[in-house]
Amino acid sequence: MENFLASLPLVAKLAPDDYVGFTFFVGCMAMMAASAFFFLSMSSFDKKWRTSLLVSGLITFIAAVHYWYMRDYWAAFEESPTFFRYVDWVLTVPLMCVEFFLILKVAGAKKSLMWRLIFLSVVMLVTGYLGEAVYRDQAQIWGLISGIAYFAIVYDIWLGQAKKLAEAAGGAVLKAHKTLCWFVLVGWAIYPIGYMAGTPGWYDGIFGGLNLDVIYNIGDAINKIGFGLVVYSLAVSKSSEA
Ligand SMILES: *C/C=C(C)/C=C/C=C(C)/C=C/C1=C(C)CCCC1(C)C
């Protein structure tokens, strides 16, 4: 037994043509680098912006830790690390909702807006997990419920209360809010494509040939690092104003 354990490799091998594994690896590095960038930049900003940058760093840092595990899991089993994926999302997506609240606080955003967005994002992710991991033969219906929660978020930030607050704030805050809104409308729309690529449904013929993990990994890199950079730019432009 001891000999057998000693003979096991400590690190799973990553095949040179394993492009899925490659995106996990690069994703992990990118998240680590982005976290270092956001955390280290905090001290150069006014106190008011430090919390926003801290949250940006936490989002990429939590993702980096999950990518570390997902990278290993993929290399060992060549299987989608669905559980780690959704644990990551259920922690980081609510934090992205917190970012919306933090930048709109200057315009008087209330906590109720933050909690509503968080609630909708949790509904979106839990129903997505049920369709992807638990009730796969009903993936279409769970995906639809998840999509409704997603559109409720899109509505709130594009046309609802969050939009009104952003307009009241004006200037750089309004601009940052608009950019984040585009990330949610276009960047977050990458995820349902990954879901349709990885679950059975009417969409098999359209997305069936794509790899779910590659799509999710691209989505994460764009959205998590992109969100943080929008907040960073807002802090830069607000700090040079004063
Ligand atoms: C950093 C991680 C992010 C921004 C993850 C976002 C995930 C989504 C917007 C997922 C959405 C889904 C649907 C709208 C329908 C199908 C199921 C999901 C969960 C993939």
Q: What is the pLDDT of residues 52-111, one digit of tens each?
A: 999 999 999 999 999 999 999 999 999 999 999 999 999 999 999 999 999 999 889 999
Task: Give percent above pLDDT 70 in the chain.
Answer: 98
pLDDT at site 242: 57
pLDDT at site 106: 83
Name the more confident of 145 and 8.
Answer: 145
Rounded CA-CA distance 169/163 in Å is: 10
Per-residue model confidence as pLDDT tens digits over 26-51: 999 999 999 999 999 999 998 889 99
CA-nearest residue, atom 19 of ligand 1: 128
pLDDT at site 1: 64
All structural domains of the chain, each given as residue ranges with its CATH number in brackets, are: 2-10+17-241 (1.20.1070.10)
Measured in whole angstroms, the distance separating CA 34 from the mean position of its chain's CA atoms is 14
Confidence check: pLDDT of 6 > 80: no
Rounded CA-CA distance 15/20 in Å is: 10
Which helix (H) or strand (E) element contains residue 31? Answer: helix 19-41
Ligand 1 atom nearest to 146, measured from its CA: 15
**Residue 63 · residue 93 · CB < 8 Å:** no
- Mean pLDDT for the chain overall: 94
CB-based pocket (< 6 A), ligand 1: 89, 92-93, 124-125, 128, 143, 146-147, 150, 188, 191-192, 195, 220, 223-224
pLDDT at site 241: 74
* CA distances in angstroms from 167 to 109, 171, 191, listed in the order given: 12, 9, 29
**Residue 23 · residue 212 · CB < 8 Å:** no
Q: Given ligand 1 and candidates 124, 129, 220, which is best to mutate, with the most ligand atoms within 8 Å of its CB?
A: 124
Per-residue model confidence as pLDDT tens digits over 181-232: 999 999 999 999 999 999 999 999 999 889 999 999 999 999 999 999 999 9
First to last CA, the chain: 67
- Find the DSSP H helices in 42-77: 47-77
Per-residue model confidence as pLDDT tens digits over 109-153: 999 999 999 999 999 999 999 999 999 999 999 999 999 999 999
pLDDT at site 44: 93
Nearest to residue 103, comparing CAs of 24, 203, 183, 34?
Answer: 183
| DSSP code at position 46 | -
pLDDT at site 149: 98
Q: Given ligand 1 and candidates 35, 65, 130, 188, which is best to mutate, with the most ligand atoms within 8 Å of its CB?
A: 188
| Distance (Å) from CA 189 to ligand 1 centroid | 8
pLDDT at site 132: 97
Nearest-5° angle of CA 39, CA 30, CA 153? 80
**What's the pTM?**
0.93
Ligand 1 atom nearest to 96, measured from its CA: 4
Count H helices, E strands: the chain? 12, 0
| Distance (Å) from CA 93 to ligand 1 centroid | 9
